[in-house]
């Protein structure tokens, strides 16, 4: 997907995206923030920040002497993040519309670089995940910390296969190529980072040492409301683009029926949380 189509897809999710934060984005973002062991006063870069699932806990951790630059392509998600930060009276977080592949360290950050870099559920959307992330790691000072979260192998799989089967029954395969799409499933970048060993090697390849990867177990009951919010509030929404409202309503009903028929009553949201240190 191009930056423009990613921005369009994620801007379209803005109404439902944050309904998922409590059960989906939040646990991973909070875990990543803890795992990065921020210190008071740290300068943090959070890329692919969405509504701030990891960036807002980072801002709380680094305190008033710290700063978080939270960047994303989707301004409608950033706007939700800004409102959440205002609600929490956090003045040390800037939500900025920017492409992570182009970001340069502003002059307000010490020359050595950021103290930490975070990216939760974002690296597999970058056009060149390895190259783009290695460049972002280079914006962190030597000895600073870097961390990512990704879906663990098998997470959301039974659900997403069912969803894309329903989509396929309504149309020829779309060009949608999110990490969980049937089409191109085996070739998707997420396959290169979906186990503890793969993700550890991936982060070392991007320039990190002392890498630690832990698994965060998480399950959500597959209620009809949650399931549809998961579709509308994530990249899976992109596959609905060709359809009118009536067809979308049919897809929702058929998805719900097929999940019931298959006994899928819980969604596996298993996630890997990986951290390391930028090599000197
Ligand atoms: C699944 S969401 C995760 C958002 C957030 N980190 C969270 O965990 O809630 C992925 C985000 O990556 C953003 N994104 C994708 N490619 C990007 C890029 N090149 N630069 C900045 N943001 C990007 C999307 O706009 C989307 O908000």
Residue with tokens 């609905």: 240
Cα(169)–Cα(8) distance, rounded to whole angstroms?
24
Mean pLDDT in each 10-residue stretch from start to end of the chain (280 residues)? Answer: 91 94 97 98 98 98 98 98 98 98 96 97 96 98 98 95 92 56 72 97 98 98 96 94 94 97 97 96
Question: Nearest Cα to 150, choosing from 73, 216, 79?
Answer: 216
Atom 13 (ligand 1) nearest CA: 48
Residue with tokens 């519309």: 97
What distance in angstroms lies between residue 260's CA and the mean position of ligand 1's atoms? Answer: 31
| Two tokens, residue 105 | 């360290």
Question: Nearest Cα to 273, choosing from 8, 2, 25?
Answer: 25
Long-range contacts of the stretch 125-132 (C-beta < 8 A, 24+) = 125/1, 125/6, 125/48, 125/179, 125/235, 126/48, 126/100, 126/101, 127/3, 127/101, 128/101, 129/189, 129/192, 129/193, 130/202, 130/205, 130/206, 132/100, 132/101
Cα(228)–Cα(252) distance, rounded to whole angstroms?
7
Where is 198: in which H helix or E strand? Answer: helix 196-205
Cα(191)–Cα(189) distance, rounded to whole angstroms?
5
Atom 23 (ligand 1) nearest CA: 48
Does ligand 1 have an atom closer than 6 angstroms to the CB of 101?
A: yes
Cα(125)–Cα(275) distance, rounded to whole angstroms?
19
Cα(155)–Cα(218) distance, rounded to whole angstroms?
9
Query: What is the best residue among 12, 36, 48 to mutate for testing ligand 1's pocket, by most ligand atoms within 8 Å of CB?
Result: 48
The predicted structure's pLDDT at residue 177: 47
What distance in angstroms lies between residue 2's CA and the mean position of ligand 1's atoms? Answer: 13
Atom 14 (ligand 1) nearest CA: 48
Pairing type for strands 43-47 and 114-120 reads parallel
Taking the model in full, what pTM does it have?
A: 0.95
Phi/psi of residue 270, nearest 5 degrees: -50, 135
Does ligand 1 have an atom closer than 6 angstroms to the CB of 100?
A: yes
């Amino acid at each position: 997907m191009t930056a423009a189509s990613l921005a369009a897809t994620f801007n379209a999710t803005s109404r439902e995206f944050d309904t998922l934060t409590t059960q989906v984005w939040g646990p991973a973002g909070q875990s990543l923030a803890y795992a990065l062991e921020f210190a008071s006063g740290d300068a943090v870069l959070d890329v692919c920040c969405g509504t701030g699932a990891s960036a807002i806990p980072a801002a709380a951790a680094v305190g008033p002497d710290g700063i978080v630059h939270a960047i994303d392509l989707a301004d409608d998600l950033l706007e939700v993040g800004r409102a959440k930060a205002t609600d929490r009276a956090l003045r040390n977080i800037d939500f900025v519309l920017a492409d992570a592949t182009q970001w340069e360290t502003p002059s307000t950050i010490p020359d050595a670089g950021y103290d930490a870099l975070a990216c939760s559920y974002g690296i597999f959307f970058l056009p060149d995940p390895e190259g783009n992330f290695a460049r972002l790691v280079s914006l962190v000072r030597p000895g600073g910390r870097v961390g990512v979260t990704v879906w663990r192998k098998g997470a959301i799989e039974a659900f997403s296969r069912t969803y894309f089967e329903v989509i396929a029954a309504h149309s020829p395969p779309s060009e949608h190529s999110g990490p969980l799409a049937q089409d191109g499933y085996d070739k998707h970048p997420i396959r290169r980072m979906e186990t503890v060993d793969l993700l550890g090697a991936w982060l070392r390849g991007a320039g990190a040492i002392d890498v630690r990867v832990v698994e965060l177990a998480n399950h959500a009951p597959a209620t009809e409301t949650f399931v549809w919010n998961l579709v509308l509030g994530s990249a899976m929404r992109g596959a609905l683009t060709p359809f009118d409202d009536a067809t979308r309503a049919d897809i929702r009903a058929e998805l719900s029926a097929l999940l019931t028929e298959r006994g899928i009553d819980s969604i596996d949201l298993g996630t890997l949380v990986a951290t390391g240190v930028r090599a000197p």
